[in-house]
Amino acid sequence: MNLNTIHINRFGKLSNLEIQLTGGLNVLEGCNESGKTTIAAFIKYIFYGLSGRSDRDGISEKKRYVSGSEIGGYITVTTDDGVPYRIERSSAYSGESCKETVQVCHLQNHVVKSVPCPGEMFFGVPENVFVNTAYVGQLAAVRPDGSSLTGAVENILFSADENVNLKKAADRINQARREIAPKNSGGLLREKTAERDAIALQLEKARESEQSVLESETALDDARRKRIALEEKKEQLDRIHKAAQVVTIKRYMAAAKETAEKCEAYQNALKVLESPPYSTLSEQVDQLKDSLAEENAATYYDKHTQSAEQALEEGEYLESKSRLNLALGISMIIAGITGLLASLVMVYFAFPVQQYMIPVCATVLFVILGIVFYVKQGRYLRELTELLDEWDLETLDDLDDIVATGANGRPDIGGVSEYSDDAVERLNALAKACGIPARTPEETLDALAKKAQKVVADRDMVRGKVENLTGRLSAIDAQLKTMDTQNIEARYKALAETPEGKAAMHLDNEGLKKVLREKEFTESAWKTQYQREMELEKACASVHGETKSPDVLASRLSALDAEIKELQMKADGYAMAYDTLLVAGEEMRSGVIPTVTAKASAFMAAATGGKYPEIAMDPGFSAVFTTDAGTADCALLSRGTADLAYVALRLALTEVLFASAERQVPPMCFDETFAAVDCDRLQSAMQALSKSTVQSLLFTCRGDESSIAEFLNANVIRLD
């Protein structure tokens, strides 16, 4: 489907706005607060209306956009099969209720329908599916590395919502199973089994002998020792974990300081490159080239245009002589070959010697004459070449142009290098300002041109570094803003004096994860051991007090057997459900991955200029990228390339999700999605979007996208 016209009567802060769109790529450029996000929200409003649910701020979409007066507008579209429609929607509050009017007009037969949700009519999906496929916001360097993108891809394919995590649902089922019967230790089933074993032990002790009492007490002492050891270890790991959290925050603070220093250094370098003489070095070099070229041309033509006609006449004479001697030489050679053939024929047929000696002599004569003519032709040709070299020309046609046009007919000034003192002085002054030693004007000008190219390249590189470091610094500052850094500094200094703090300071990220896993495992083991100790204490008290008869213990044992059987059935059911979800996921991946990777690879190859011609995925949706040098690990991708990879996969997923014949493929809305992509790949990506059959709306506050779109003859809308 293509959107043709967006007409906003009133929506948000926009009113009386009409935008004309085309198929393929459309770029909507505007500064911050110019209404780009409002236009994107208006598109969703036309198809799905406004939600009454409150957001994080406690304000619903209806309260946000519908105030005192009526809002609304219309969008004209053309479906994939070429049918035009106009979709109109208006909303206004009447008392406490919001009244909406929605109409869909068929522009060919002029049939008007009242459709509550045009989005479901055209796309066949609810609002959350539309938003989670057709809308791509600014990306936080989402990497296709089997982590964040893996979850998003799998969730969209299962539920059309990248926030509905099917894996978490499966994990919850597995967690419920683990609570009943984990693989290692603990769990309700093991608790009940331990309780049953304790009661069975009590029953056995009650029926057999006092020796069982001693065994229970021994087991209780052993359980108590193990529980105390686990408790000490748990407390130690807890202290290390808390210390590691402080160390991690301290490392973030150090990273923020280091990043700020690097950013300041690059900003200072950028100021130098953007100030004179480097800010206009390329323009000054071009001006000096033009000025010196004009002076060279004037000097050259003063010397040579007066004798051009004589030189042309002499050249034409030499050329004609050369051609004549060449023709005569070829003729003599041909005649000599003919005589030689005649002699061979006469020898073959045994002619008398005196008869075939005549053609032999003629052959020798013709060959000698041919050589003479070739020698003369070479002499004339050398003289012609010397004449052209004197004029620094390639052919007589160039000399003829000089005669016909005068001084203006000479395209190249050759080695003439007579310049005015003013031009040389300006050239040397610019070279001195740029730190280049003065040499000949030609050498100095060439050195300045190379310097200008390097300045432009260095300036672009430094700007990229500044943008990258600024973004990284903002991300770190956002994390540190909510933290009491002074308190962290004090706690960090105090930790340096403790064994736990010293241990935490030597932990890397993997070591911290290992400590956390060990802490969780120790806590689980401690709980299990504590429960076992309690059960053993109960068993010992029961045996010592002999408050229960063997019949009572047998009855409790039978009840526990029933509970254990029921828990085992639940655990088996959870395991079966978990395995079923895993099998369903594998079947979905095996069917979808080839289609998704093929479509995503095509866009990725176009967007990166062929550097990454193919995306490969394993069943876990972990992606790798092929290059001329082999397979590239996705973890090494730059943020911009990772963003392109995510966009490629989202485009491919959208096409797969809307592949049904009853669904229209919605236009893709990109809101500052390519902010981290460099200009070359941005142009390639936008060119791929412009050639796509899917319409794209790219919202941006930068001028780069607009410039590239104009170069690609794509539609550009500038918002005031």
**Sequence-separated (6 or more) residues with CB below 8 Å from residue 307:** none
Task: Give the model confidence (pLDDT) of 555-575 as tens digits.
Answer: 777 888 887 777 777 666 666
pLDDT value of position 4: 95
User: 700: part of which helix (H) or strand (E)?
Assistant: strand 696-700
Residue that wins the pLDDT comparison between 162 and 704: 704
Taking alpha carbons only, the member of 697, 693, 657 closest to residue 124 is 657
pLDDT value of position 678: 87
Residue 665 above 50 pLDDT?
yes
Contact indicator for 246, 413 with CB cutoff of 8 Å:
no
Residue 13 above 80 pLDDT?
yes
Residue 156 above 60 pLDDT?
no
Residue 116 above 50 pLDDT?
yes
Residue 227 above 70 pLDDT?
yes
pLDDT value of position 220: 79
Its pTM stands at 0.44
pLDDT value of position 300: 46
Residue 442 above 90 pLDDT?
no
**Residue where a domain stops, chosen among 125, 159, 180:** 125
In this structure, the number of other CB atoms found within 10 A of the CB of residue 503 comes to 18
pLDDT value of position 83: 93
Residue 433 above 70 pLDDT?
yes
Q: What is the mean pLDDT of residues 201-228?
A: 73
Residue 82 falls inside a structural domain? yes
> How many residues in the chain?
720
Give the pLDDT band (50/70/90) at residue 22. Answer: very high
Give the pLDDT band (50/70/90) at residue 417. Answer: very low
Give the pLDDT band (50/70/90) at residue 413. Answer: very low
Dig out the tokens for 186 from the structure.
Answer: 């603990």
CATH of the domain at 8: 3.40.50.300
Q: Give how far Cα 237 sits from Cα of 230, 234, 311, 515, 522, Å.
A: 10, 5, 98, 7, 9
| β-sheet with 2-11: strand ranges across | 14-20, 2-11, 71-78, 84-94, 97-106, 112-113
- Planar angle of CA 624, 629, 634, nearest 5 degrees: 20
Helix orientation angle between 188-207 and 550-607, rounded to the nearest 10 degrees: 160
pLDDT value of position 318: 82
Taking alpha carbons only, the member of 690, 698, 693, 688 closest to residue 664 is 693
**How many contiguous H segments (helices) and E segments (strands) does the chain have?**
21, 14
Total domains in the chain come to 2
Window from 67-71, 391-395, 477-481, 549-553 with minimum mean pLDDT? 549-553
When mean pLDDT is compared over 232-246, 402-416, 588-602, the highest value belongs to 232-246
pLDDT value of position 459: 85
In this structure, the number of other CB atoms found within 10 A of the CB of residue 699 comes to 25
Residue 374 falls inside a structural domain? yes
Residue that wins the pLDDT comparison between 396 and 700: 700
pLDDT value of position 587: 56
pLDDT value of position 564: 79
Residue 155 above 60 pLDDT?
no
Pairing state of beta strands 614-617 and 715-718? unpaired
Residue 118 falls inside a structural domain? yes
| β-sheet with 623-627: strand ranges across | 614-617, 623-627, 630-633
pLDDT value of position 161: 47
Task: Give the model confidence (pLDDT) of 502-532 as tens digits.
Answer: 777 777 778 878 878 888 888 888 888 888 8
Residue that wins the pLDDT comparison between 519 and 709: 709
Residue 683 falls inside a structural domain? no
For 36, the domain range is 2-125
Give the pLDDT band (50/70/90) at residue 676. Answer: confident
Q: What is the mean pLDDT of the chain?
A: 77
Residue 158 falls inside a structural domain? no
**Residue where a domain stops, chosen among 125, 146, 176:** 125
Task: Give the model confidence (pLDDT) of 49-97 as tens digits.
Answer: 887 676 666 677 777 777 767 889 999 999 988 999 999 999 887 767 7
Contact indicator for 714, 638 with CB cutoff of 8 Å:
no
Residue that wins the pLDDT comparison between 317 and 189: 317
Taking alpha carbons only, the member of 640, 665, 696, 711 closest to residue 28 is 696
For 264-293, the three-class secondary structure string (H helix, E strand, C coil) is: HHHHHHHHHHCCCCHHHHHHHHHHHHHHHH
- Environment class of residue 461 by beta-carbon count within 10 Å: exposed (0-12), middle (13-18) or buried (19+)? middle
pLDDT value of position 498: 81
Measured on CA atoms in the order 132, 138, 144, 150, is the torsion positive or negative? negative
Task: Give the model confidence (pLDDT) of 461-478 as tens digits.
Answer: 988 988 888 888 888 777
Residue that wins the pLDDT comparison between 179 and 680: 680
Residue 399 above 80 pLDDT?
no
Residue 104 falls inside a structural domain? yes
Q: What is the DSSP letter of 101?
A: E
Pairing state of beta strands 630-633 and 623-627? antiparallel
Contact indicator for 442, 417 with CB cutoff of 8 Å:
yes
**Residue where a domain stops, chosen among 379, 409, 439:** 409
In this structure, the number of other CB atoms found within 10 A of the CB of residue 656 comes to 16
Residue 366 falls inside a structural domain? yes
Residue 695 falls inside a structural domain? no
Please give the full DSSP string across 214-262, using - where no structure is assigned.
Answer: HHHHHHHHHHHHHHHHHHHHHHHHHHHHHHHHHHHHHHHHHHHHHHHHH
**Sequence-separated (6 or more) residues with CB below 8 Å from residue 293:** 413
Give the pLDDT band (50/70/90) at residue 623. Answer: low
Give the pLDDT band (50/70/90) at residue 28. Answer: very high
